[in-house]
Amino acid sequence: MKTKCYDRIGEQVYSEKLENGLTVFVVRKQGYNKKYAFFATDYGGADRRFKLGGRWLDTPMGVAHFLEHKMFDTEDGNALAELSANGASPNAFTSTDITAYFFESIEKFQENLEILLSFVSIPYFTPESVQKEQGIIGQEIRMTEDEPDYAVYYGLMKALYKHNPLRDSVAGTVESIAEITADTLYSCHKVFYNPSNMVLVVAGDVDPEQITAAARKILPKEPGELPQRDYGPAEAMTPESGRFEARMEVSIPIFLMGCKAIPPVKDIDFLRQELIGTLAMDILAGRSSPLFLKMYEEGLINNNFSAAYEYAAGAACTIAGGESANPDRVFELYKQAAGDLAAKGPDPELFNRLKKAMQGRQLRSLNSFETICYNTARGYFRGYDAFQAPEVLAAVTREDITAFARDNLRSGDMALSVILPKNA
């Protein structure tokens, strides 16, 4: 295995690409009792249209999420119950662009790792179990669609994007999941759960050679074809519409403001823009920003207000929002502050203080095995080394923030999504 030392942060990472195309990362954490395994596929809710064997294929919304639910089923029972009975704490998630299965344990880690690798790589579906799951997930979808936070987020995505699948729920709709069959699941598992499209990350006091030995023993021996993905026609930088509005059972309006960002195009650019974008949003609308303090003092927002940079499915955007009795006034002030940041750049003292705070968060995150594994996997799928983040952030300048604001916080291209009280 290759070994790479990161002197700046005191980490040592082992890695190896196996013959079947799977890349394994082991982050040694000597002296820790807890161990963490994260087995992920570069496949999420947005990956509905893809090319394989020279042919374009379309699948219903919600397949990736549905597949995640069903992967715990085995011919002999349920892997979730088996891992739990074995002293592990297992879970899984599906996002727009990644599906992951993971667990942490103190005892029987190697045995639990083999269970994880086995059930994720060996699918077992029956028409009866798929039909049963359609009912369960359908009920979850109906409940989620009644949640204001869900409605305001996807309202903003629909206001921003015309074609990109970011517009659509990762879970799909009741109608779309009704189209999913056992054959659909087997086909998508074969395409996206092949080792060439996956990564295994382990953190803890473990033997790296034992980890790769387990992967070689259990997983398929041959690499698979990597699918080509299609996220729809190119999007204009202007929003599809300037506003989304709905009424639901809320006591105070909730809102999200957003703007499309220019997506990064390769490797380390993903990491660099994510760090610059996150810092820029802290400077513009974070809790220490003049904008946040002004709006909070005037009673326009409360502590639920937050801001972020996001990237998925070939698209990027900036988002901010929370609760307010006057979201339109907040939107006006937000656009003014974004324009000022693009024209004048960040205050030097604020820039230095928030950059140091972000560096501190990075260092503290190295104590979280979950964060280490997730960031390593996500970085691998996007072509960058997540452990380079402190080095990349250290090189970020005020000019980088100004350029980001100018290119990606265009006040004239912002959209607003608002959920108003039903009976107001």
Using alpha carbons, select from 301, 279, 416, 295 the residue that is nearest to residue 356.
Answer: 279
Beta strands at 35-41 and 89-94: parallel, antiparallel or unpaired: unpaired
Beta strands at 99-105 and 89-94: parallel, antiparallel or unpaired: antiparallel
**For residues 102-141, b (16+ Cβ closer than 10 Å) or e, as one string?**
bbbbeeebeebbebbbbbbbbbbbeeeebeebbeebbeeb
In the structure encoding, which two tokens stand for residue 102, read together?
């993971």
* Residue 78 bridge partners (DSSP): 73
Choose the catalytic residue: 11, 16, 19, 68.
68
Question: Is there a contact between 154 and 104 (Cβ–Cβ < 8 Å)?
Answer: no
Residue matched to tokens 């980490």: 11
* Torsion sign over Cα 222, 118, 177, 61: negative
Measure the CA–CA gap between 11 and 9, rounded to whole angstroms.
6
Using alpha carbons, select from 92, 81, 59, 36 the residue that is nearest to residue 189.
Answer: 59
In the structure encoding, which two tokens stand for residue 203, read together?
């953190």
68 catalytic? Reply is: yes
Name the residues annotated as catalytic: 68
